[in-house]
Amino acid sequence: MKELVARSLKYQAGKVQVLDQYLLPHEETWHHCESVAQMKSLILTLKVRGAPLIGLAASLLVAYLAQQGHSKAQLSEAIDELEATRPTAVNLMHCMRCLRTALQQHEYVRAVIAEAERLFEEDCALCDRMATLGATLVEPGDNILTHCNTGALATAGVGTALGVIHHAARQHGDIHIWVDETRPLLQGGRLTAYELAQWQIPYTLLCDNMAASLMAAGKVDKIFVGADRIAANGDFANKVGTYNLAVLAHYHNIPFYVVAPVTTLDMSCASGGDIPIEQRAEGEVTGVSGSFGSCQWAPKGAKVYNPAFDVTPAALITAWVLDTGIFYPQDVATGRLGTA
C-alpha cells in the first residue's frame, strides 16, 4: 500500500493511523488501528467521524488486513461488520460496496488495496472541486453560518461545507463564520472552531439555540452545511439541528446550501423518510465525559431523545453543491440531481 496522508487519517510506516477527534482540540493523539473491532470502536465513539472519513478509514483497514494476508472470507466478514457500524452516513456503505466488488477479483489483495487507495485520493480531489464550486456562491464580506464539522478532519481533503468556507476565505479574505457549537458532542465548538483557527479564518462560536436570533437580526447572509445521506428527491440527513437551521433560513429568506460528494446521494432512498437515523446513548445528552471534562447534569434515570441526525426536506434547500456541479430545485424536479 502506498503512503496516504490526510488531516485525521493516514497509512504511514505500514500502519493505519487515526487522529482521535474526541480528544480535540486540546489533545492531538493518533491511534494505530489493526483490527475490525478496534476500528468499529473508534467509529462508534466518534474518535473517527465525518461521513466521508468513516468510509475511508474502514477502507484503509480492510486494505491493511488484505496486505496482512487475511483470507477472502475474513475480508468479506470484515467489510460486512464495518459497513454496519453506523447506519446513516451512506459514504461508509459506498466504500464497503467498492471493496466488496474488488474482493471478487482473482487478484483480490491487489484489487482491494488499489480500491482503498483510489477512494482516498478521489475524496481528496472531489473536496477541492466542491470547495471551488461552492466558493462561487460566497460574496466578499459574507457572514456564513455552519453546523457540526465538515472540514479536513472529516474527509481526506479540505472538507465539504467547511472546504467551501476555506476556499472562499482564501478568495475574499473578509468573510466571517458563525459556528454552531452543535450539541451534544460539540463538533462545531471543538472541531470547526479548531480548524478555522488553524486556517486563520475569523469566526464566532454560538450555542445552537442562538442561531434564530442571529438570523432575525440580519447577521447571517448564507448557511452552508454537510450531509450524511441525500435521498433521490433531494431531502437529506445531516447532524441533528440542521433541520432547525433550514426552517429558520426559509423563514428569514437566507440562502441554505448543502455540500457533499455525489457518493452521498442514495437513489435507493426515494425521500428523507427512507433514511435510517442513528439513535445514540443517553449519556451524551445527560452530561459529558472526555478530555473536555466529566460531569452529569441531568437527574439519574432521565429519559433521553438523542438522534444523531435529522432530515431536511428538499423544499428548504437553495442548492446542492456536489463535486459534479451546483444543482437547483429545477434539477431535482427533472431528475438531474447529481448528474455531471
The interface with ligand LNRAV4D5 within residues 304-333 (CB under 6 A) comprises: 308
The set of cell numbers assigned to 14 is 505500514
Ranked by CB distance to ligand LNRAV4D5, the top (closest) residue is 226
* Member of 8, 59, 146, 155 binding ligand LNRAV4D5 (CB under 6 A): 155
Active-site annotation holder among 228, 235, 266, 323: 228
**Footprint of ligand LNRAV4D5 on 210-249 (CB under 6 A):** 226, 228, 238-239
Buried/exposed 90-102: b ≥16 CB within 10 Å, e otherwise:
bbbbbbbebbbeb
- Give the shortest CB-57-to-ligand LNRAV4D5 separation in angstroms: 11
Nearer to ligand LNRAV4D5, 154 or 249 (CB): 154
Q: In whole angstroms, what is the distance from residue 227 CA to residue 236 CA?
A: 7
Tell me if 191 sits within 8 A of 155, measured CB to CB.
no
Distance CA 130, CA 135 (A): 8
Instruction: Determine, following the binding rule CB under 6 A, whether residue 7 of this chain makes contact with ligand LNRAV4D5.
Output: no
Grid cell digits, residue 117: 487507495
128 by Cβ neighbours in 10 Å (0-12 / 13-18 / 19+) ranks as: middle
The contacts found for 98-106 with CB under 8 angstroms, 24 or more apart, are 98/59, 99/59, 99/62, 99/63, 99/75, 100/76, 103/72, 103/75, 103/76, 103/79
Helix spans in the chain (H): 36-44, 51-67, 72-83, 90-103, 108-135, 161-172, 193-198, 211-216, 242-251, 283-286, 329-333
Pick the piece of the chain touching ligand LNRAV4D5 (CB under 6 A) from 60-68, 94-102, 154-162, 213-221: 154-162
Is residue 331 among the annotated active site residues? Answer: no
String marking each residue 108-147 x if it binds ligand LNRAV4D5 according to CB under 6 A: ----------------------------------------
190 is in an annotated binding site: no
Instruction: Please tell me whether 135 is known to bind a ligand.
Output: no
Mapped onto helix, strand or coil, the DSSP state of residue 159 is strand
SS3 at position 16: strand
Amino acid at 174: D
- SS3 of residue 121 by DSSP: helix
Count of residues touching ligand LNRAV4D5 (by CB under 6 A): 15
Residue 110 labelled as part of a binding site: no
What is the smallest separation between the CB atom of 142 and ligand LNRAV4D5, expressed in angstroms? 20
- The answer to the question of whether 51 is labelled as a binding residue is yes
Of 329, 319, 129, residue with least CA distance to 225: 319
49: annotated binding-site residue? yes
Restricted to residues 42-61, the positions that interact with ligand LNRAV4D5 (CB under 6 A) are 49-52
**Nearest residue (CB) to ligand LNRAV4D5, 233 versus 312:** 312
Site for ligand LNRAV4D5 in 251-310 (CB under 6 A): 308
Note whether 160 binds ligand LNRAV4D5 by CB under 6 A.
Answer: yes
- For the bound state, the minimum distance from the C-beta of residue 37 to ligand LNRAV4D5, rounded and expressed in Å, comes to 20
Question: Which residue in 64, 88, 89 sits closest to 79, CA to CA?
Answer: 64
Query: Which has the closest alpha carbon to 229: 256, 261, 255, 191?
Result: 261
Rounded to the nearest whole angstrom, what is the least distance from the CB of residue 32 to ligand LNRAV4D5 in the complex?
21
Per the annotation, does 50 bind a ligand?
Answer: yes
Q: Is 100 one of the annotated binding-site residues?
A: no
Q: Is 166 in the site for ligand LNRAV4D5 (CB under 6 A)?
A: no
Residues 6+ apart with CB under 8 A from 68: none
Could you list the residues known to form a binding site, using ranges.
Answer: 49-51, 86, 187, 238-239
Interface residue list for ligand LNRAV4D5 (CB under 6 A): 49-52, 148, 150, 154-155, 160, 187, 226, 228, 238-239, 308
Residues marked active site are found at 228
List the binding residues for substrate.
Answer: 49-51, 86, 187, 238-239
